[in-house]
Structure 1
């Protein structure tokens, strides 16, 4: 089956979060179960730099009149066939893919990502005479207009099926109504039954309304987003589309996240030979100026620093962690006030708290390898990859019971310990006392070395690979295309 994947970023070429990890791993997983996958991406410099043997497939005029080229070639690093939108005016900029150096969204983001969906629709309708997708699979709001453009194109035979995956419903791609007139969609699309969202244009809603099928990145999140609490204003629409909505749990790329082969860690190790993990911990403690103590539980955070991630709860509970003799290592970037407070805590407790502001892929691997507990106390979490990385690296996840966190982490309750199912720590109420009770369980288990090792081994042996998810996607594609 021919599958065209549409996304704004792709690991390892361009990454701001978990979306890139999935976009980078899913094509290979699908190909392993018989699909032929190509990707369409914006022409960000890092992506164009990796595109080899490329040529101009087509020269087109965007709906608002700009000329662009669609280049076809092969992404060298991923060994993946790709179409890349070559329009430097839109994509060759400083800052992140979405924001400038001052963390302000680019004023023309509606054009930059409408073009991604528009080009994908052209490819779905025969732009490449030598390759025709049967399924177009678009990811998150940046690619949300793909199925809208396809819905208003002349129908062709055979029909091309559309799948839209929600990675985080809170990021909705909302723009002023004036932007609609640049998108090239018919007036009928600006309606409640269309892209209109409280008087504005929502790219996320376009995907939710027009796609043949909606997937989310965990089964629990698929249920949660149909409620007012987590539906972000779309719960009514999602309930009406519940028959075309399902959750497929994300997975981890073992070629990238594997402590036995990881080139970034101080010492490699596996579930049966854990000496390397102890050396990773001691090495990171020493490098960061923390007290080098094997008996001290080391907590780790690798996260965007936002309110969603529950980091204000961690700040409130930090004195509890330190009073018990614990340590904290943090890597992340985000809201300025959270960055500032965490940096102040590191300055106040230099032997127990280390904070690195920014994004550093190699350092993230080292944090998972060194830490004993991975903190993911998110208020909501569509899937979460961080807790999966923690499981892979023997850093027991401590999580709030939501979304994919609920689907992957089993609390160290007595019954779960007795059944050999426990792999971490889970709390239900989103508040500081509940977090501290889970932390207390982590300290208690850490003091019982035999049980800690059993729980850690359970987590490290958990199957978090892509084969199951890939088979579920193929089954869905075949159903839609039948």
Structure 2
């Protein structure tokens, strides 16, 4: 049997673990190269040259032939990460050498020139595409690569993965003349969107294939409720939309080997989780106890249902639960959470910010993790919860619906239950889900069975990587 040709794929993204991370996008981008290597795909990742990225790669080889992009002085550097991942870094000091985050200044305000920063990234990807069989872009920050590839008339196909439709890269129409695109790109089939430039919309119009990060989300974005104004584009291109479920890096997220846990464990040693629970209590200044400890690791936004959690906290504490929350976001929500913690000292603990080690500890020591999202393209947090025996309590939407099986009587009887699923992010549904969780927790053999079933579920990258590789090969052969 003839072995399939190794495909060379350029992955274009604005973040990748461990170099730069603001959310799950970075985890996925970081995991794909290793996952796809087993499918005969050699992936190279193009990243912006943020200060942290430049410091991490150290000395790197300059790729010849690209000294400016859209009039911006740049260098493209070739490097390898310690684990062998191939990197291309767009060193554009005028765009990326700044204090603050990838998308905003130290005060959290978006950079005024984000349109240019990520247009240059997309154009650089198009200029590099000739060395590859396919270009795989992620979210609006990389979506312009699909646009530039289409209007350059090249033969390299492109894939756009939408990790969250809510973030679209929409800018005023006055920037169009500075994007280096032909006039024909100012159209419904190009970047024009309600009189402005829609970078995600343009990528969706121009990509050869569109993927989302779960099958349910791929269906949901066809509707006005979840399409965020782009559902018409989705329906028009429905024949190229695919839902490929995210996986998790089981080498990084494994409770049996996790270096961030005081006590490692597996399905046969769940009792060891108690040491991790004590550590979570200490980290969040919570009362010690064996009652249910709920955790939440999230951006603090309306999407994530944090406002509904605020309504339910008194109910949670009244039933004997405690809450440890790690996250940052909406200032008003943070202030309301502080008031809730003040009402319930020792029962509600907060840490505003993000800590990778602490997030691991919370999965390893929490009894249940709350994810009452209004929409969730995939979600990795519930997958980590399943892997760690931290029972997910989730809304029936997007990837949450695809990955968590509700502990209803039938699922409990058949031994397939892995969590608690609520209908919508409302007070009634979330308070009922928390009540159900606490009652289930009181039946320790039943709770342990749900934990073990979740831990045995396979949410690694193998099946999803095979789907991506098959899609790549169809596009390259077309």
Q: Is 2:17 the counterpart of 1:11?
A: yes
Give the counterpart of 2:212 among 213, 216, 227: 216
**2:164 paired residue number:** 168
**2:304 paired residue number:** 309
**2:365 paired residue number:** 370
**2:119 paired residue number:** 114
Unaligned runs of 5+ in 1: 126-131
**8 Å Cα contact 1:59-1:70 kept in structure 2:** no
**2:4 paired residue number:** none
Give the counterpart of 1:33 among 32, 36, 39: 39
Provide the alpha-carbon RMSD of the alignment.
Answer: 1.2
User: 1:63–1:191: structure 2 CA closer, same or farther, 3 Å change rule?
Assistant: farther
How many Å separate the matches in 2 of 1:105 and 1:221? 27
Matches within 5 A, 1:261-276: 261-276=257-272
How far 1:261 moved relative to its partner?
A: 0.7
Unaligned runs of 5+ in 2: 1-6
Q: Is 2:421 the counterpart of 1:426?
A: yes
Give the counterpart of 1:205 among 186, 201, 208: 201
How many Å separate the matches in 1 of 2:363 and 2:47? 30
Q: Is 2:89 the counterpart of 1:90?
A: no
How many Å separate the matches in 2 of 1:276 and 1:93? 44
Task: Return 57-66 or 190-199, whichever deviates more.
Answer: 57-66
How far 1:154 moved relative to its partner?
A: 3.7
**8 Å Cα contact 1:59-1:68 kept in structure 2:** no
**1:68 paired residue number:** 74
**8 Å Cα contact 1:63-1:183 kept in structure 2:** no
Q: Is 2:53 the counterpart of 1:47?
A: yes
Q: Is 2:151 the counterpart of 1:152?
A: yes
How many Å separate the matches in 1 of 2:370 and 2:199? 32
Matches within 5 A, 1:234-313: 234-294=230-290, 296-313=291-308
How many Å separate the matches in 2 of 1:198 and 1:403? 27
How far 1:429 moved relative to its partner?
A: 2.8
**8 Å Cα contact 2:280-2:366 kept in structure 1:** no
Task: Return 317-326 or 270-279, whichever deviates more.
Answer: 270-279
How many Å separate the matches in 1 of 2:425 and 2:334? 21
* Residues paired across the two proteins, number: 471
How many Å separate the matches in 2 of 1:64 and 1:465? 40
**8 Å Cα contact 2:284-2:350 kept in structure 1:** no
**2:3 paired residue number:** none
How many Å separate the matches in 2 of 1:481 and 1:312? 46
How far 1:99 moved relative to its partner?
A: 0.8
How far 1:32 moved relative to its partner?
A: 2.1
Give the counterpart of 1:464 among 459, 462, 473: 459
TM-score, normalised to structure 1, is 0.96
**8 Å Cα contact 2:284-2:351 kept in structure 1:** no
**8 Å Cα contact 1:281-1:369 kept in structure 2:** yes
How many Å separate the matches in 2 of 1:25 and 1:329? 28
**1:228 paired residue number:** 224
* 1:330-360 deviations in Å (ceiling 9; x for gaps): 0000000011111222233221010000011
Give the counterpart of 2:433 among 432, 438, 456: 438
How many Å separate the matches in 1 of 2:428 and 2:33? 42
Counterpart secondary structure, 1:307? coil
**8 Å Cα contact 2:70-2:120 kept in structure 1:** no
How many Å separate the matches in 2 of 1:271 and 1:9? 33
**8 Å Cα contact 1:63-1:182 kept in structure 2:** no
* 1:283-320 deviations in Å (ceiling 9; x for gaps): 221343211111x1000100000100001111000011
Q: Is 2:342 the counterpart of 1:347?
A: yes
Matches within 5 A, 1:124-135: 124-125=129-130, 132-135=131-134
**1:129 paired residue number:** none
How many Å separate the matches in 2 of 1:180 and 1:251? 37
Q: Is 2:176 the counterpart of 1:180?
A: yes
How far 1:58 moved relative to its partner?
A: 3.0
How many Å separate the matches in 2 of 1:283 and 1:94? 33
User: 1:48–1:476: structure 2 CA closer, same or farther, 3 Å change rule?
Assistant: same
How many Å separate the matches in 1 of 2:74 and 2:282? 52
**2:135 paired residue number:** 136
How far 1:63 moved relative to its partner?
A: 5.2
**8 Å Cα contact 1:7-1:143 kept in structure 2:** yes
**2:469 paired residue number:** 474
Counterpart secondary structure, 1:180? helix
How many Å separate the matches in 2 of 1:65 and 1:179? 14
